[in-house]
């Protein structure tokens, strides 16, 4: 589960009038490890990371991901697929660059708008009114979601499983909230071959947050809701994900997730991620759903 190799795998065309095209073949099995073992698909957050790295290469310098303005996933990418991405680069405020990209495999896969900033440019100040954080740790109504629940609920397996523990509260009149934690260690696959003093990839913080969303949805379902093991939680949309700092080995990510809307197979979440009392990620919206493992993720037969 490593986002770092993508930068050397892209075949990037020339930038002409702020636009360019790039191609990437998903032929490295380590990119799919643990996501998902029964039906491997390319993590959507890895696609965001790959597109970000391609844009950085085209701009010719080091940069950091400042904000995922909007992202919509249309269809999964599978092992062996070739990704064809088209980019549009525009200057934004305060030295940042707005990147718009579309990515396709066998069919349209995703479209994204993101802001990237030079590495030396300080992160923007945090919003005056960050999302309300659910105080489940001292709440007598909070329930612990143990390792068995996490393993049963999420189809992710190591190294793709990025939640260690969670507490959930489903209080009438107060909404549903969850606090999930992920410890970052020097043994993370993303640090293989790199300095362990480096920062944890922002897209993996997002991946961990989204897994926490899946746990919250499952933990707050009605008792009579039928269990369907043929479906897995997938992210459909991201909006307003702002990064305010970094995380590194030795840090503990604390995701504070709020369930905003739940309709049928879908749900909408917001929240933030803390490290040692400081906000490193704010999330306006994550839209998730449950999708069939079988037909949407099956490869077409050679004769089709």
Does the pLDDT at position 128 exceed 60?
Answer: no
Answer yes or no: do 103 and 206 share one domain. no
Answer yes or no: do 115 and 133 share one domain. no
Answer yes or no: do 31 and 13 share one domain. yes
What integer is the mean pLDDT of 231-242? 90
pTM: 0.89
More confident: 301 or 78: 78
Answer yes or no: do 202 and 300 share one domain. yes
Looking at residue 39, what is its pLDDT? 81
- 3-class DSSP assignment, residue 108: strand
Looking at residue 291, what is its pLDDT? 75
Does the pLDDT at position 131 exceed 60?
Answer: no
Answer yes or no: do 168 and 274 share one domain. yes
Cα separations (Å) of 137 from 180, 254, 283?
A: 10, 11, 21
Answer yes or no: do 144 and 255 share one domain. yes
Does the pLDDT at position 293 exceed 80?
Answer: no
Q: Where does a domain end: 86, 101, 120? A: 120
Element (H, E) at 71: strand 63-73
Looking at residue 300, what is its pLDDT? 35
Looking at residue 72, what is its pLDDT? 97
What integer is the mean pLDDT of 2-23? 84
Q: Domain residues for 171?
A: 129-304
Does the pLDDT at position 88 exceed 90?
Answer: yes
Answer yes or no: do 97 and 164 share one domain. no
C-alpha torsion sign, points 63, 66, 67, 68: positive
Answer yes or no: do 182 and 281 share one domain. yes
Q: Where does a domain end: 94, 120, 146? A: 120
Looking at residue 61, what is its pLDDT? 76
Mean pLDDT (the chain, rounded): 85
Answer yes or no: do 115 and 145 share one domain. no
Does the pLDDT at position 7 exceed 80?
Answer: no
Domain at 168, CATH number: 3.10.129.10
Answer yes or no: do 83 and 171 share one domain. no
Confidence of residue 110 (pLDDT cuts 50, 70, 90): very high
Structural domain count of the chain: 2
What integer is the mean pLDDT of 15-20? 96
Phi-psi region of 272 (alpha: psi -120 to 50; beta: other; left: phi over 0): beta
Q: Where does a domain end: 120, 151, 176? A: 120
**Would you state the structure tokens that stand for residue 303, as one six-digit string?**
């004769």
Does the pLDDT at position 268 exceed 60?
Answer: yes
pLDDT one-digit tens code per residue, 194-227: 666 678 999 999 999 999 999 999 888 755 555 5
**Would you state the structure tokens that stand for residue 299, as one six-digit string?**
């490869």
Q: How far apart are CA 208 and CA 14, in angstroms?
A: 34
For residue 3, the cross-strand partners are: none
What integer is the mean pLDDT of 47-69? 93
Looking at residue 5, what is its pLDDT? 57
Looking at residue 292, what is its pLDDT? 67
Does the pLDDT at position 129 exceed 60?
Answer: no
What percentage of residues in the chain have a pLDDT greater than 90? 60
Looking at residue 172, what is its pLDDT? 61
Answer yes or no: do 104 and 154 share one domain. no
């Amino acid at each position: 589960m490593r986002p770092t190799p993508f930068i050397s795998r892209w075949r990037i065309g020339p930038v002409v009038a702020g636009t360019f095209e790039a191609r990437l073949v998903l032929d490295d099995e380590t990119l799919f490890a643990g996501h998902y073992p029964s039906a491997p698909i390319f993590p959507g957050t890895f696609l965001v990371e790959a597109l970000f790295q391609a844009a950085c290469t085209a701009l010719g310098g080091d940069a950091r991901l400042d904000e995922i303005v909007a992202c919509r996933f249309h269809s999964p990418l599978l092992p062996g697929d070739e990704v064809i991405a088209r980019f549009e680069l525009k200057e934004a405020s305060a030295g940042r660059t707005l990147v718009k990209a579309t990515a396709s495999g066998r069919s349209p896969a995703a479209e994204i708008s993101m802001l990237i900033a030079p590495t030396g440019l300080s992160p923007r100040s945090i919003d005056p009114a960050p999302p309300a954080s659910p105080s489940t740790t001292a709440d007598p109504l909070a329930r612990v979601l143990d390792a068995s629940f996490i393993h049963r609920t999420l189809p992710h397996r190591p190294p793709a499983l990025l939640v260690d523990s969670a507490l959930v509260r489903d209080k009438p009149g107060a909404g549903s909230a969850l606090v999930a934690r992920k410890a970052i260690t020097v043994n993370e696959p993303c640090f293989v071959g790199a300095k362990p003093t480096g920062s944890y990839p922002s897209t993996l913080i997002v991946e961990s947050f989204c897994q926490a969303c899946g746990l919250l949805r499952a933990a707050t379902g009605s008792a009579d809701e039928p269990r369907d093991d043929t479906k897995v939680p997938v992210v459909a949309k991201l909006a307003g994900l702002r990064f305010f700092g970094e995380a590194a080995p030795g840090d503990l990510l604390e995701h504070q997730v709020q369930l905003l809307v739940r309709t049928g197979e879908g749900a909408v979440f917001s929240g933030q991620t803390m490290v040692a009392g400081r906000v490193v990620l704010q999330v306006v919206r994550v839209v998730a759903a449950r999708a069939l493992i079988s037909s949407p993720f099956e490869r077409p037969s050679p004769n089709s």
